[in-house]
Structure 1
Amino acid sequence: MEKLIEYILQFGNLNKQQIEFIISKVTEIELGKDKYFSEAGKIPRQVGFVVEGVVRGCYYNNKGEEITRCFIPENNLVVDYPNFEANSASSEYLQGSTNCKLIVFSKQDWEELSHTIVGWDNIKNKMVQKCLYQKSRKTPVISQDATTRYLEFLENYPTLTNRVALSHIASYLGVTQQSLSRIRKNIR
């Protein structure tokens, strides 16, 4: 709970009662590896905060291939926010890339914070902007060669190489697992 409060307080000030109110609105859940936090075709109903583990955003392209769009490690929000806010079906999956512990707000509780805490909308907007920025900024640039993309992955996610499946990293980079193995061998 402490990590969530530290995270929230980066974006604005809250008093003790407001913090206690926020804590009263969350539940802690475990999300197993390969289990879904939210799914394509369904309306996202919760906002999560990753306490332990890594969640990945992925989708299927028109050939039916799974594409990893982003990784969401500890101390970050996890939510398909545009669809959560619009109450519309998601086009991607948020899935545990490892076993995860999450702190979760239901949609109703998330909205109740806005109605109850003065200044919450400002804090929420900053958190959501950071969440959306992180998801978009770290997508590899396909015009770069695969080695450059992998080196950027290492820079953006220094702790993930031994934690998430190589198939997910390869999919994120837009290369085959064999290519990724070659790249990794050449870098060592």
Structure 2
Amino acid sequence: MEDFISYILQFGNLNQQQIALISKKATQLTLQKDEFYLEAGKISKQFGFVTDGILRVSYFNNKGEEITKYFIDENNIVVDLESFDNEIPSIAYVQAMTDCKIIAFSKRDWHELLDTIIGWDAIVRKIVSKALLQKVERISAIVAQDATTGYLTFLQKFPNLANRIPLSYLASYLGITQSSLSRIRKKIR
């Protein structure tokens, strides 16, 4: 919980009473490797913050191929905002790549915090804005490059992820086959 409180305090000030209320509303979730935080077709019912582990966000394209959109690691939020806010089914799968610990808030508790804590909505907007910028940066920086440059960029931007996720998912994220990724890795060693 301390990591989460430190994280949110980067975006605004809260007093001890407000922090106590946030802590009271939080639930600690533990996901085992390969377990789903959210599945396509279901409504996102939690706003989460990853304190330990890596999650993968994926979807199936119109050819039935599973595509990895991006990864979420420690000190990042995990929520399908469109699904959470509008109560519509998600089109994404959010799956644990490692054992994960997540601080989560139910929709009811999240809205209660928004209604009770003055300035919480401004903090949330800043957190969500940062997360959306990171998401765009993660996708555009890698996808716009050739495979080798994309892989090197991934290693540079996310050095703590490369050895913690399966190569098949990393290849999917880079938009290449696993054998192509293996050749690239062999070539740059």
Q: TM-score, normalised by structure 1?
A: 0.97
1:182 partner amino acid = R
Counterpart-to-counterpart distance in 1, 2:165 and 2:151: 14
In structure 2, the residue matched to 1:152 is 153
Divergent runs of 4+, >6 A: none
In structure 2, the residue matched to 1:43 is 43
Counterpart-to-counterpart distance in 2, 1:142 and 1:4: 30
In structure 2, the residue matched to 1:82 is 82
Asked whether the equivalents of residues 78 and 131 of structure 1 are also in contact (C-alpha less than 8 Å), the reply is: no
- Where do 1:31-110 residues align within 5 Å? 31-110=31-110
2:102 partner amino acid = L
Task: Provide the secondary structure at the position in 1 that maps to 2:28.
Answer: strand
* Residue 143 of structure 1: how far off its partner (Å): 4.4
In structure 2, the residue matched to 1:184 is 185
Counterpart-to-counterpart distance in 1, 2:69 and 2:139: 6
Structure 1: 5+ residue runs without aligned partners?
Answer: none
Counterpart-to-counterpart distance in 2, 1:157 and 1:86: 32
Per-residue displacement from partner, 1:96-136 (whole Å, max 9, x unpaired)?
11110111111111111011000000001111111222222
In structure 1, the residue matched to 2:135 is 135
Counterpart-to-counterpart distance in 2, 1:32 and 1:66: 21
Counterpart-to-counterpart distance in 1, 2:113 and 2:18: 9
In structure 2, the residue matched to 1:16 is 16
Counterpart-to-counterpart distance in 2, 1:44 and 1:148: 35
In structure 1, the residue matched to 2:172 is 171
Counterpart-to-counterpart distance in 1, 2:143 and 2:7: 32
Counterpart-to-counterpart distance in 2, 1:77 and 1:174: 24
1:148 partner amino acid = T
* Residue 144 of structure 1: how far off its partner (Å): 2.0
Counterpart-to-counterpart distance in 2, 1:146 and 1:60: 21
State the aligned residue count: 188
Counterpart-to-counterpart distance in 1, 2:137 and 2:88: 24
Task: Provide the secondary structure at the position in 2 that maps to 1:138.
Answer: helix
Counterpart-to-counterpart distance in 1, 2:21 and 2:130: 23
Structure 2: 5+ residue runs without aligned partners?
Answer: none
2:125 partner amino acid = N
